Structure 1
Amino acid sequence: MSELGICSRREADEWIERGWVRVDGKVVSELGSKVLPHQKVSVERQAAAEQSKRVTILINKPVGYVSGQAEDGYQPAIALVKPETRWTEDAVQTQFHPTQLRSLVPAGRLDIDSVGLLVLTQDGRVAKHLIGQDTSVEKEYLVRVQYSKPGRLPDTELKRLNHGLTLDGKALLPAKVSWQNEDQLRFILREGKKRQIRRMCDMVGLKVIGLKRVRIGKVRLGNLPEGQWRYLREDEQF
């Protein structure tokens, strides 16, 4: 079911336990049941109705918040999701309810020192699309840097940032890295290793002064104020 893009593995388990899943018209209630390629998997309407209620939230994460679980006294970004921090210009009619915080998980990381677009979702399909093994969704960052040597970063090192660096013993996928102005680079990546941009910059003698994620796929941060959140609109797709 997960491979077909119907739902996440966790959702599949829930639906099977509730008797909402059929194979060739017969209800399957046992987790881990094998399905052959020629067999047809279908789900009851209740599953689709429940899935449609699941929300995806966009936050402009400030410095000092962690993406996931609380750690070392720092608050998780989900702590920002409350009625008073919802963006007043949010065009979605959905009413906020505390049940929306249940199973609301970050679809990707943004480290504690970075700001910008962070996605929290209850929808397993969104999470898989953004952070699954086969994802190729672009993520765009604006990165303020300082060169540790006299003069300007050589073009050869800029080329290495685009393609040619290795992290944790594995070659990085090609990136798109270009200067925006004298001290700011634009990074567009299709992967997200831990503190990847900071480590890439360190390898070529650049110190990261500030890092902001401004886009994930086709969804942009836009004018969303720092520390505020909004719902993903129906017409928006990553």
Structure 2
Amino acid sequence: MRLQKYMAHCGVASRRKCEEMIKQGRVTVNGQVVTQLGVKVDPQKDEVRVDGKAISLEQKQVYILLYKPRGYVTTVKDTHERPTVVSLVGNQPARVYPVGRLDFDTEGVLLLTNDGELANKLMHPRYGVEKEYYAVVDGRPSKSQIQAFIDGIDIGDAIAHAHKVRLLWQKGNSSAFKVVLKEGRNRQIRRMFEAIGCPVKFLRRERLGNLVLGDLKPGQWRYLDEGEVMQLKKLTEAET
């Protein structure tokens, strides 16, 4: 098994993050520092350590659904000393990481876990896991502008698409939408609305796959039950 895949299975982080850790010289195999990708390990024979701490497949996997409030960053540590989402869930039996990102001013559904393999699949667009948002914007977009969300909008570094978009209401110079994405570019919804001249005033992610906020309030969290975890994994079984 490739080292980064083994690390992800052990719950260290997503596979991409594990690759970064290897390149940074933070991983040893049988006492030797490994910095090259592609190294293979035998989980039954080899000792793998990350930052000096041994890892194994027996580590407990943790799945947390958090209602991320505005004013928090979705990182483990922040160089600007802003509050992080990890600080909201307290001490856990394993080190957990946020899956994907919600920007500083966005609230809503956020999964934290040490299941790196699942995290990697949830973030990869080829699995097409849906993310549903509620957005309130300045302006009253036309039908053609709304259709452009499906057809594709140039956001500078890519042509971004929404999977579904629905107008909910319009009051004065404000409009509200439900937007469903299957891709996940950085600040995608904000950038798409900005591109049509309707900046976002409020944004909340209301669903990630089968996970919804339910009765949670901003800053509250709960563990996923076994059925929720199984359903979430099922969503990543087949590529779209």
Normalising by structure 2, what TM-score?
Answer: 0.71
In the alignment, which of 194, 202, 212 is matched to residue 210 of structure 1?
Answer: 202
Change (3 A) 1:221 1:71: farther
Paired amino acid for 1:62? P
Displacement of 1:72 in angstroms is 2.7
Supply the RMSD in Å over aligned alpha carbons: 3.3
Please name the residue that 2:135 is paired with: 143
Please name the residue that 1:192 is paired with: 184
Alignment: residue pair count: 201
Change (3 A) 1:174 1:208: closer
Please name the residue that 1:54 is paired with: 61
In the alignment, which of 155, 158, 163 is matched to residue 170 of structure 1?
Answer: 158
Secondary structure of 1:54 counterpart: coil
Gaps (5+ residues) in structure 2?
23-27, 45-54, 233-240
Confirm whether residue 232 of structure 1 aligns to residue 220 of structure 2: no
Displacement of 1:3 in angstroms is 7.2
Identity %: 34
Secondary structure of 2:190 counterpart: helix
Displacement of 1:71 in angstroms is 4.1
In the alignment, which of 127, 146, 158 is matched to residue 146 of structure 2?
Answer: 158
Q: Which has the larger radius of gyration?
A: 1
Please name the residue that 1:25 is paired with: none
Please name the residue that 2:235 is paired with: none
Q: Is the 8 A contact 1:105 1:120 kept in 2?
A: yes
Matches within 5 A, 1:109-128: 109-128=101-120
2-side partners of 1:42 and 1:234: how far apart? 29
Normalising by structure 1, what TM-score?
Answer: 0.71
Secondary structure of 2:226 counterpart: coil
Gaps (5+ residues) in structure 1?
19-28, 36-40, 83-97
Q: Is the 8 A contact 2:135 2:179 kept in 1?
A: yes
Relative contact order: is structure 1 or structure 2 higher (C-alpha 8 Å, sep ≥ 6)?
Answer: 1
2-side partners of 1:99 and 1:157: how far apart? 45
Matches within 5 A, 1:65-76: 65-68=72-75, 69-76=77-84
